[in-house]
Amino acid sequence: MIEHGKAYPSYPARRGTDWPLVVTKITAIIGRILLYVVLATGGILFIMPLLWMISTSVKPDHLIYNIPIVWIPPELDWQNYVNGWTALPFPRFYANTIFVTIVNIIGLVLSSSLVAFGFARIRFWGRDVIFLILLATMMLPSQVTLIPLYLFWSKLGLVNTYWPLIVPQWLTNAYNVFLLRQFFMTINLELDDAARIDGAGWFTIYSRILMPLSKPALGVIAIQAFAWNWNNFFDPLIYLNEPKKYTIAIGLRLFQTTQSQQIAETMAMTLVALIPVLIVFYIAQARFIQGVVITGVKG
């Protein structure tokens, strides 16, 4: 700036504080803090029962009912695991549960994918109506069919066998059919046409084209089926009578009797029963997340 022949330095004009922008930033920061607080609180509430189970599994009996809760006992009683494992035939319970779970996963994946393939790729009269009827069964509470199913299996003489636990899984599941059908419908139909030109039949298209392309969705179904069958309590309780045929979920109930409640041993064996589920989810977490995202977006 030049005035009367003299040069003066020029300074930028002062601007007032942009209060709306400041308020917006402060609001965003406060909102993020509140979000983290809510998530942390929810996480703590969800993990506390697991921490209590782990703590109780190594507590002496006289510390289990202490108030306030003794989270870290002064002495760790690992004998609870030994007592729990030897008091009941847990190796047998494990073997029974593994057998039922594996057979049911295979049956559920095969039956659900076959039915979903039919609804997604094969045109036939009444296809959409039948599909809607199948979806309607999802709204039907399982308790409604409990007595008829029990009478049905009883008439066949199959109560106290694994057939009532296995056969329904091999007869598909409406939710899984819906999930896979939506996924199959996103796969280009031109692949089917090209395969049929080469002489491929429906089963070849199903097994050679759609199944390999549907691994993420199939992985989600398999993992969910594993968790459900491993923790299934109600069906084995209804249909199994002999302790040697019990699954883990029913076996854990044997610790609770009218005379005593072996809380420490129950928590120890519950933690042991959780180990396979945790291992499966840890190993398959990437595929599980990928499958959930893909099926959610494409469905």
* Residue 299 in this model has a pLDDT that exceeds 50: no
Prior bond of 276 cis (ω within 30°):
no
* Residue 147 in this model has a pLDDT that exceeds 80: yes
Long-range contact set of residues 34-39: C-beta below 8 Å, sequence gap at least 24 = none
% of the chain beyond a pLDDT of 90: 8
pLDDT (0 to 100) of residue 297: 45
pTM equals 0.76
In contact, 208 and 196? CB cutoff 8 Å: no
pLDDT (0 to 100) of residue 196: 84
**Which residue in this structure is represented by tokens 């840890």?**
282
In 3D space, the residue among 227, 269, 121 whose CA is nearest the CA of residue 183 turns out to be 121
pLDDT (0 to 100) of residue 195: 82
Q: Provide the phi-psi class of 79: left if phi over 0, else alpha when psi is between -120 and 50, else beta.
A: alpha
pLDDT in tens, 20-43: 777 788 888 888 899 999 999 988
261 DSSP assignment:
B
pLDDT in tens, 47-67: 888 888 888 888 887 777 777
In angstroms, rounded to a whole number, what is the distance separating the alpha carbons of residues 182 and 217?
10
Point out the least confidently predicted range of 198-207, 212-221, 280-289.
Answer: 280-289
* Residue 277 in this model has a pLDDT that exceeds 90: no
pLDDT (0 to 100) of residue 284: 72
* Residue 10 in this model has a pLDDT that exceeds 90: no
pLDDT in tens, 77-92: 788 888 888 888 888 9
pLDDT (0 to 100) of residue 8: 52
* Residue 157 in this model has a pLDDT that exceeds 80: yes
In angstroms, rounded to a whole number, what is the distance separating the alpha carbons of residues 211 and 192?
13
CA 264, 269, 274, 276: dihedral to nearest 10 degrees? 150
pLDDT (0 to 100) of residue 259: 52
Task: Sketch out the chain's domains with CATH numbers.
Answer: 18-77 (no CATH), 88-260 (1.10.3720.10)
Provide the token pair at 264. Answer: 């420490």
Helices (H), the chain: 19-57, 61-64, 79-87, 90-121, 127-136, 146-155, 163-170, 174-184, 189-197, 202-205, 211-213, 215-231, 234-239, 248-253, 263-298
pLDDT (0 to 100) of residue 102: 92
pLDDT (0 to 100) of residue 265: 83
In 3D space, the residue among 225, 274, 220, 223 whose CA is nearest the CA of residue 94 turns out to be 274
pLDDT, mean of residues 122-128: 83
In angstroms, rounded to a whole number, what is the distance separating the alpha carbons of residues 3 and 12?
18
Point out the least confidently predicted range of 43-47, 64-68, 94-98.
Answer: 64-68
% of the chain beyond a pLDDT of 70: 87
In angstroms, rounded to a whole number, what is the distance separating the alpha carbons of residues 122 and 230?
34
pLDDT in tens, 165-187: 998 888 878 888 888 888 888 88
pLDDT (0 to 100) of residue 105: 92
Q: What does residue 256 show for φ and ψ, rounded to 5 degrees? A: -100, 110
In contact, 247 and 97? CB cutoff 8 Å: yes
Q: For all residues of the chain together, what is the average pLDDT? A: 81
